[in-house]
Each structure stands twice: as C-alpha cells, then as structure tokens.
Amino acid sequence: MHRITPLRALGQTRRRVHGIPAGWLRDACQCPQCVHPSTRQKLISTGSLTAAAHAARVEGCKVEWGPGSVSHSAVAADLSKDRHSHEFDVRFLDKYKGVFASGERSSEGAQVKQNSPHKLWRASDFAAHRSKHSDIDYRQLVTSDTALLSLLQQLQSHGLAFVRNVPVTEADDPKQEPQLERIISRMGCVVRDSFYGRTWNVKSIQQAKNIAYTSLDLGLHMDLLYFDSPPGIQFLHSLKNSVTGGESIFLDSYKAAQMLKAESPHHFKTLTQLPVTFHYDNDGHLMKQHRYTITENDINSDAPDGMRVFYSPPFQGPLEHVRTDKDMAALVEAMRAFEDILRRPDMTFEIRMEAGMLVVFHNLRVLHGRKEFDAASGERHFKGAYIDYDVMKDRLSVLSRDLKR
C-alpha cells in the first residue's frame, strides 16, 4: 500500500486539483473507460457525475476520485463502488488551468471578446494586406500544404483571398469536369451540394431564376440566407470576362457592424432585436428563414464580441416579425444607418476578376456583389461552389497542427 499524502500537503483540496475543479477533471477523464480508445467518444455523461466526484488522492498528475464518482456509463451500469483514477497528460492540465484562472463565466463574453483571429478591414486595409501577401499561385495551392495553409489563414483573418493562374480549360468544353471541383478536392475539402448543384454558373441569361444570372447591378449581399445553415465559404472562378463593367465588390460586414455599434448604438441595438425575413420562392422551391441582421455573444463565432451578421437585401421576403408602425420605422432607420456605412467609398474593395482568377471568401462575413455590365460587350462566365465553414476550419486546424511539428 502507498502511504497517503494529505491533499493539503500537496497544495490541493478535495474540490480543486492543480487549479482545476476535481468534478471538471472527472468529467474530462481521458482513460479508456471514460473515452473510447478507438472512436474517441466520451462514455460518461456530465449528468452522471455524483457528489463523490471530488479528489481522494493526488500523485503528480495522477488523480483518484472518491468511490462512485459517476453513477453510470455507456459501458457499465453500476459504478457505485468504482474507485476511479487517471494520470493526466501535464499539457492537458496546463491547457485547461488557464480556463479556470480567470474565474469568469464565458457567457459573460470575457472569452468571446479576446483574441479574435479576425482582422477587420476597410478597403484600404485589405488592399495593403493583399499587396503584402500577394495572391496564391494555383500550382502552389494544389501541390504545397504551406500554400494551402496560407490561403486558409487569410480566409480566417480577412475572410477573403485570391488565387491566380487557375486553368480555364473547361470554358469551351461543357463536358469537362469543372476545374473548381478538382481544386476543392485537392484542398482536401468537400463541396456543399444544393439545388443550385455542386458547382453552378454565373452567366447572364434570359428569364433568369436568380438576380445573379442577369447583367444588373447586384448589390452587396450574402448567399443562401434562406437556408437553415447557409454555406460558410464561397468560391468563384472566373472562366471568361471580356465585358465592359461587371467588377466584383467585397466588404467586411463585421467592420461595418463594429462601426455602427460605435457610431449609433441605438440603431445597432435595433438590428439585434428586429428580425428580417429571407426567402426563395421560385423554380419549385419555397424556403424561408428569419434572422436578426446582427447578433452578439455567440460563443461559436470567431468574430470580436462573438458577432454574426446576416445581410442580403435581394433575398429578403415580406417582413413577418415587424408588427408595429414604430418597429417598422425603427428598422428602416437602423438599416439606413447600416447601409450608409456600407456605402462609404473606403469600405468596398473592388476588383476586376480576369479569366483565371479565383476568389474564395467567407460568405457569412464578407458581403459580395457585382457592378452592372454591358452584356452585349463580350462574355462573362464564372463558376461557383460552396463549402461549409466547418470544412475550412477543420483543414485549417489540422494543417496548423501538422505543419507546426
């Protein structure tokens, strides 16, 4: 038998070990009985923790809990006598010690506000960033993980990145598989399918089903806000562009929302309180979602203040949750104040997407649009596709970890 050293002599208590609550550690036990070794799935639920989930003994990083610290698990029904212990990895303890050091609840926004990986920008900020990093070359993107990581990092920080010299071979051969699908799968990403198809064409056509397929000026917007879960990342590959006009425009909506909050907090508040309706009622589809233009304190948002923005005037339907004259007037004024900021000339980054250019952007952050063009002056043909933001973040996390080694 080991001689038991009193916890207090080790600088620990029954409730707190290594600066971490003993119950939290029991819940997070990484042993093969608590986390399945091959599936890596948790076998005990937080609700199964009992009052005995305190520390009975500690030796270095090894913690033993009181008998019956969990009532049941996915592999054993009765654990009432189980004296459970586990030796934690010191890096695991160090990583989570910090979480408890502040003592603040994350729902109070303390963690959400700090260390946002996003760098909010005006047009000139983005232009400066782009001239420093220069666009990624297609050959490098598909052959080098370092180039891919750089693209993903730019997508996370600025929500917008360009790739140059992308082949346009399929432009004249509709039977050829789109280059865009090949690029996306070479990036290790999965295309998000929808009723628009795995990839879709942006060309001006007669009787278009979507405003994007006309030659009209297409104001700043986000795509697919009438979906329950809109795709986070959009790709647009320019195959042909010989028309007069039709420049592509991009704007950081987080920057604009942050400016609105600083300049007109009451309008900002209105946009967080009165939801807007988005719909797609055409071509055999009937889809609808209500969304607040701005939300805050979403712990899953990487943006400052846990912000999210949903803005897409061309896809708005009749407002359904604005029910008084007063609310309607407040919404109009608040939207006008937001749009006044969007219209400032230093906000919009404008670029002519020559054939062979590919733009990748965060659809739920960076607003995109297109200036009007003269359809008779030439041809304009872009190929588009979406991937989920999850797919982008997954690739970014794994590549960052692997390339650091």
CB of 189 to Zn ion, least distance (A): 35
Report 71-90 residues binding Zn ion (CB under 5 A): 86
CB–CB of 65/84 below 8 Å?
A: yes
CB of 84 to Zn ion, least distance (A): 6
The count of chain residues that interact with Zn ion, using the rule CB under 5 A, is 5
d(C-alpha 390, C-alpha 292), whole Å? 22
29 binding Zn ion? (CB under 5 A): yes
d(C-alpha 290, C-alpha 323), whole Å? 14
Work out the widest C-alpha separation in the chain, in whole angstroms. Answer: 90
Q: With contacts defined by CB under 5 A, name the span among 21-29, 287-295, 343-351, 385-393 that binds Zn ion.
A: 21-29
Residue by residue, DSSP assigns 204-252 as --TT-SSGGGSSS-EEEE-S-TTSSS--SEEEEEEEEE-SEE--EEEEE
CB closer to Zn ion, 4 vs 75 = 75
Q: With contacts defined by CB under 5 A, name the span among 34-42, 97-105, 222-230, 303-311 that binds Zn ion.
A: 34-42
CB–CB of 80/218 below 8 Å?
A: no
CB of 99 to Zn ion, least distance (A): 20
CB closer to Zn ion, 33 vs 241 = 33
CB of 44 to Zn ion, least distance (A): 7
d(C-alpha 292, C-alpha 271), whole Å? 6
Residue 390 CA to chain centroid, in angstroms?
A: 7
> Which residue's entry shows tokens 């190929």?
383
CB closer to Zn ion, 49 vs 149 = 49
Number of helices and strands in the chain (H, E)? 11, 21
53 binding Zn ion? (CB under 5 A): no
d(C-alpha 120, C-alpha 256), whole Å? 9
CB closer to Zn ion, 38 vs 324 = 38
Binder to Zn ion among 34, 274, 347, 399 (CB under 5 A)? 34
CB–CB of 56/8 below 8 Å?
A: no
CB of 186 to Zn ion, least distance (A): 41
CB closer to Zn ion, 43 vs 375 = 43
31 binding Zn ion? (CB under 5 A): yes
CB closer to Zn ion, 25 vs 257 = 25
CB closer to Zn ion, 86 vs 279 = 86
Binding site for Zn ion (CB under 5 A): 29, 31, 33-34, 86
